[in-house]
Each structure stands twice: as C-alpha cells, then as structure tokens.
Amino acid sequence: MTSDGFIDAHCHLADPSFDSDFEAVIQRSQAAGVTGWIQGGVGPEDWKKQKVLQKRLKPHCYLAFGVHPWWASQESESSVVAALKVLEQELPEAHFLGECGLDQAPRFANKIQWQLEVFRLQLLLNQTFKKPLILHVVQAHAEALNALKGHSGSGGIVHAFSEGKEVLKKYLDLGFLISVGGAVTRPGYRKLKEVLQMIPLDRLVVETDAPDQTPLLENLNRESRNEPCYLVGIANVLAQTRGGLSGDRTFMEIH
C-alpha cells in the first residue's frame, strides 16, 4: 500500500491495448484508490516502455524486467540470448526481476526445456543483483521449485497463484509473497479457494494482471478489458471467500 492508495501487485501498463487511452486508465485506477502498479516484464521492448511510463507515474510505477516464458518460447534462440545480455545491463534500474518462470500449458509445452534454461540463466544473473522475483509458473511448479532450490533467493511474488497447500507451503518457505487475482472471482479454482485461509495476511497480495484475466465482478461488462481499477473488487471477493475480512487494507499491502 502506498501512502495514498493501494498497489496492484501485477499488471501490464506497457501493453499496447492501453496506448490509446492510457491517461483514462490511470485516472480510473486512481479514482478507485489504486495508485501503485507493479509491472510484469515481458521482453526488451516492454522494458523500454516501462521506463517511459515510470517517468509519468513516478514514484508509484514499479519496474519489472525479465524474459517471460511466453516470449522466450516464441522468439528465436539468438533473440533470447541477446535479450539476456540487455537484461544484465538494464536490471539495476528495475525493482524486480520478472516475469520469469515456466509455462507448460499446451501451446508452450514443447518449449519447456528451453524455458527452463532461460529461467536458470535469469536466476544465475540475479546472484549479482539480488532483485525480488516475479514468478510466472503454469503447470510446472515442481520444475520451478527445483530450479529455485539452487538460488540464494531474494523472495518475490508468485504471480496469479492458483495451486494447493503443498505448493503454497514450498513458496512460503522460500520467502515469496502469494499474489491472487481474478481467478478468485470465477467458478472453479477449488484448490486456490481451499488454501486461502492458509496464506498469512502479511504474505498475501492482490493483482489484476490487467489487461489479461478480466475478473467476474458484479456490474462489470463481460466484454470489458481488465484494468487496475478492478483491484478493489477482486480484493472484496477474496475477502468474502476467505471469510470475514472485507475491506481489510492489508490485502493490498506490499512488504
């Protein structure tokens, strides 16, 4: 939580879908009380754009530079190697290293070994910079946790967490914050909803992942693009699902 509002623990303000009405997006966010934004990094062009946005939103735009597993899976090996070299130069300016991690969803499953190599290289790079991580992990938590064992670790945030108690405990033991997003507003996600009570409040943060993962909120146009202004609505659903904590500002604190 900033001195005058809440922090969206994960969003992508540099996404091109915000280009045409960026100022209006920020105004809606601030009107909702969301005045800080932790970014999710994708690749070199995204990092450049984040730096431009930070000048407009300073000091409450938190930079995250990392090679996203989707980006690594879709670009050539030479492009990824070049990006890692750029990352080494740019990372001192960032607050976080990420998004980094593994995604074994069907469209990227055949690239998992390459993703793992890129993830390990970023962890190795971070031995120098000690930045907190922003982890993107889908259907590959065992592999990601195994890679993290050899990392001296500076903690960070597990983005869009939706797993069960065994995986939760391992991330908590490694010092990570657990970020919950729009999934908590949707039917299903049984494992996530069952473990919400097990996440200590000082380790729980809330995200939108805007413009992705539009939440199911009352009176929200289902065709709407997701925006940081929906963070408080997600937090209220999270509080109701967890039980008895509606309106508790600790849901949006970043420690």
Which residues in 148-176 are b (16+ Cβ under 10 Å) and which e?
Answer: beebebeebbbbbbbbeeebbebbbebeb
Neighbours of 201 (CB within 10 A): 11
For the stretch 163-215, pLDDT in tens is 999 999 999 999 999 999 999 999 999 999 999 999 999 999 999 999 999 99
Contact (Cβ atoms closer than 8 angstroms) between residue 213 and residue 255: no
Computed over every residue of the chain, the mean pLDDT equals: 92
Contact (Cβ atoms closer than 8 angstroms) between residue 177 and residue 205: yes
For 207, phi and psi rounded to 5 degrees? -135, 165
Q: What are the chain's domains?
A: 6-252 (3.20.20.140)
- The yes-or-no verdict on residue 37 having pLDDT over 70 is yes
In this prediction, residue 250 carries a pLDDT of: 38
H or E stretch at 103: strand 96-103
Which residue from 154, 152, 16, 41 is spatially nearest to 101, judged by alpha carbons? 41
- The yes-or-no verdict on residue 152 having pLDDT over 80 is no
For the stretch 242-253, pLDDT in tens is 874 433 443 444
For the stretch 64-78, pLDDT in tens is 999 999 999 999 999
| Spatial separation of the C-alpha atoms in residues 9 and 204, rounded to whole Å | 10
In this prediction, residue 17 carries a pLDDT of: 96
Cα dist from 23 to 46, 52, 132, 228, whole Å:
18, 14, 29, 12
Contact (Cβ atoms closer than 8 angstroms) between residue 60 and residue 36: yes
Contact (Cβ atoms closer than 8 angstroms) between residue 197 and residue 191: no
Q: Model's pTM, two decimal places?
A: 0.93
